[in-house]
Amino acid sequence: MIRNRKLAVALTAAAVAAALSMPAHAAFFNDGEDQIEVLQQRVLDLSQSATNIQARASAEKRDLTVDEMEELGKINDQFEHTELQIERLQQVAAMAARTAVPQPARTQPTGQPQVRGDDDDTQPQAQARTQPRPRASVPAQPRSSDVGKWGFRNEGEYLRSVMAACSRGGQVDPRLIANAPTTYGQEGVGADGGWAVPPDFRTNIVTKVMGEDSLLARTDQMTTSSNQITVPADQTTPWQTTGGIQAYWESEGGQKTQSKPALTGLTVKANKLVALVPLTDELLQDAPAMAGYVNRKAPEKIDFKVNDAIINGTGVGMPLGILNSAGTITIDAESGQSPDSVVYQNVNNMYYRMAADSRKRAVWLMNADAEAQLPYMKFIDQGSGNAVPVYLPPGGISATPYGTLLGRPVITSEAMPALGDAGDIIFADMSQYMSVVKAGGIRQDVSIHLWFDYDITAFRFVLRIGGQPWWNTAIERLNGQTSRGFFIKLGARA
C-alpha cells in the first residue's frame, strides 16, 4: 500500500515535471489565467446585477418583491460558488508555480525513461507525458440583461433620473451614484457627477449611426485610442515599372536586381462631431415619448453629418470627402447633353473608369433627383437604330424599377450635390475609404444650466471621427489612355 502510494506520488510529480518542461506549459498557465479572468468577470456581473435590483427598489422607495428577493438569493449562491472556483484555481496556480522548476529527465541505459520506487518497481515516464491534459471548463451562466442598463428599464427612465438629479433640490437616483465612474462632484452638472450613459443605451445609438443606411458602415473602419492614427500605405500598381517592389526576368547565374517597398504614411485625425439635444421638462416626464425622440433624432443628426463629411468634407476639422479628394476621377458631360440630365453614356463611362477589381464592390451614390432621371435613359441600337430603355424592368413600367444599375446597388442620400451639379452621381468603392473612430464610441454629457430659464435640459452626444480615401491619385494604366480609380464622379451638366 505504501509502495503504491509512493509510486502514485512519483508518477504525479513526473507528469507535472514533464508538462512544465514542454513548450506547452505556458499554455497551461494561460488557460488557468483565462479561466480565472472569466470567473472574476462573472463575479463582477453578479455583483452588478444585485446592486441594480436593490438600486431600483430604492429609487422607487419600496421593499424588494418576492421575485426580486428570490433572484437575489440565486445571485448570492452563484456569487459564492464562483468565488470558491476562483480560490481553487488560484491555489492550483500557486502550487504549479512553486513546482515549475524543470528537472532533468532520468533514463535507463536503454533510453527508456522510468520513475523508480523504493523497491525498484518502474513505470514508463512517457506514459505520464502522453496522457491528455484535461482542460478545466467554466460552465456557462446566463448573463443578466439588466447588467448593461445599470438598473434602468429604458433610456427614458435614465434621462429622467439625470434631469431630476440636476434640478435644484432634486433627489439623486441611487442608480446614478452606484454606477458613476467617478465620485459625485457638483449638483446640477451630470458630467461633474460622473454619470455616464449605460452601455446598452449607448450601444443603441451607435448601432443606429453605423447601421445599413450609414456610409460609415461601408468604409474601411478603424478604431483608435488616441486622437489620430497613422498607417503605411502602398499606392504603387502591379504594372508600375519604377518605385516600390519590382520583379525582373534574370538569366541563369546573373546578378539579381534589387528593389524595395515604397510606402507613404497616411495620417487621419479623429475630429469632434457634437449633437446637442435640448429636452423640455414636460418631455422628460413622459419617458416613452422622450426615449423615442432621443433614439430617433440624435442618430439621425449624427448619421447625416457623417455621411455629408464622407461625401463633401473639406478635411479641415472634419473628414476629407470623396468629392474633394485628389484621387477622385471626374467624367465630363457628353457633348450637347441637356442640363440636369443623366444619359446612358454618363453611367457607362463612369462604370468603366472604376478599377476592375473594385467593380464588384462599388455602389452608386446619387441625389434622389438624379435617380429619378434613370428611367429616361436610352441607348441607340446600332442594328435597328431604335432607342432602347436602359433602366426599366422586364415587366415594363408597371413593374418595380431596378434597385441596381449595371448590376451595382443604387443608394440615394441628401448629402449628394443637387441634380446637374458635379458629383450628384458617384460610383464608389467604399472599402477604399479609411475611417477612424475614437475608441469608446459616443460620449454623452448633460447640463441644466444652458437653458435653465426655459426649463430645458441639454444632452450632448460627442463622436470623435475622421476619414479620407486611401488613394490620393488616380491609377495610371500600363496600356491605355484613361486612368482608373476607386471613386468616380459625374461632372456638371449646366
Alpha carbon distance 249, 153 (integer Å):
70
- The C-alpha cell at 488 is 468616380
pLDDT, residue 128, reads: 45
CA distances for 470 relative to 10, 43, 250, 267, 465, angstroms: 63, 44, 34, 10, 16
Show the 3-state SS of 428-492: ECHHHEEEEEECCCCEEEEEEEEEHHHCEEEEEEEEEEEEEECCCCCECCCCCCCCEECEEEECC
- Tell me if 140 is assigned to some domain: no
Alpha carbon distance 236, 126 (integer Å):
56
> Helix (H, G, I), strand (E, B), or coil: what is residue 233?
strand
- Tell me if 108 is assigned to some domain: no
Please choose, from the candidates 235, 227, 277, 243, the residue with its C-alpha nearest in 3D space to the C-alpha of residue 444: 277
If one counts the domains in the chain, the total is 2
Q: Identify whether residues 483 and 344 lie together within a single domain.
A: yes
Q: 435 φ, ψ to 5°?
A: -120, 150
Burial class (CB in 10 A: 0-12, 13-18, 19+), 218: buried
* Residue where a domain terminates, one of 67, 99, 131: 99
Quick one: which H or E segment has residue 278?
Answer: strand 271-280
Residue 183: count of CB within 10 angstroms of its CB: 9
| Per-residue pLDDT in tens (0 to 9) along the chain, 494 residues | 444 555 444 545 544 444 444 444 444 455 666 777 778 778 777 887 787 788 777 777 788 888 888 888 888 888 888 888 888 888 887 777 666 555 554 545 444 444 444 444 444 444 444 455 554 454 544 444 555 555 666 666 666 676 666 666 666 666 665 555 443 333 334 444 444 555 555 556 666 666 656 899 899 988 888 777 877 777 777 777 777 787 878 777 777 778 777 777 678 888 999 888 888 877 777 666 776 777 778 878 888 999 999 999 999 999 999 999 999 999 999 999 999 999 999 999 999 999 999 999 999 999 999 999 998 888 887 778 888 888 877 777 777 777 889 989 999 999 999 999 999 999 999 999 999 988 877 777 777 777 878 888 888 888 899 999 998 888 888 887 889 999 999 999 98
Alpha carbon distance 491, 72 (integer Å):
66
- Tell me if 121 is assigned to some domain: no
- The C-alpha cell at 65 is 418583491
Q: How far apart are the first and last CA of the chain?
A: 102
Quick one: which H or E segment has residue 47?
Answer: helix 25-59
Q: Specify which residues 411 forms β-bridges with.
A: 365
Q: Identify whether residues 197 and 81 lie together within a single domain.
A: no
Half-sphere exposure (Cβ direction) of 94: Cα atoms closer than 13 Å: 6
- Tell me if 132 is assigned to some domain: no
Q: Which amino acid is at 131?
A: Q
Alpha carbon distance 351, 362 (integer Å):
9
* Residue where a domain terminates, one of 78, 99, 120: 99
* Residue where a domain terminates, one of 36, 71, 99: 99
- Tell me if 139 is assigned to some domain: no
- Tell me if 442 is assigned to some domain: yes
Domain span at residue 95 reads 1-99
- Predicted model pTM: 0.58
- Tell me if 124 is assigned to some domain: no
Alpha carbon distance 229, 269 (integer Å):
6
Longest C-alpha distance within the chain, in Å?
107
Q: Specify which residues 223 forms β-bridges with.
A: 437
* Residue corresponding to grid cell 433640490: 169
Half-sphere exposure (Cβ direction) of 156: Cα atoms closer than 13 Å: 15
- Tell me if 251 is assigned to some domain: no
Measured on CA atoms in the order 303, 308, 310, 315, is the torsion positive or negative? negative
Apex CA 397: angle with CA 394 and CA 401, to 5°? 70
Q: Identify whether residues 92 and 195 lie together within a single domain.
A: no
Alpha carbon distance 72, 77 (integer Å):
9
Q: Beta strand 363-366 with 408-412: parallel, antiparallel or unpaired?
A: parallel
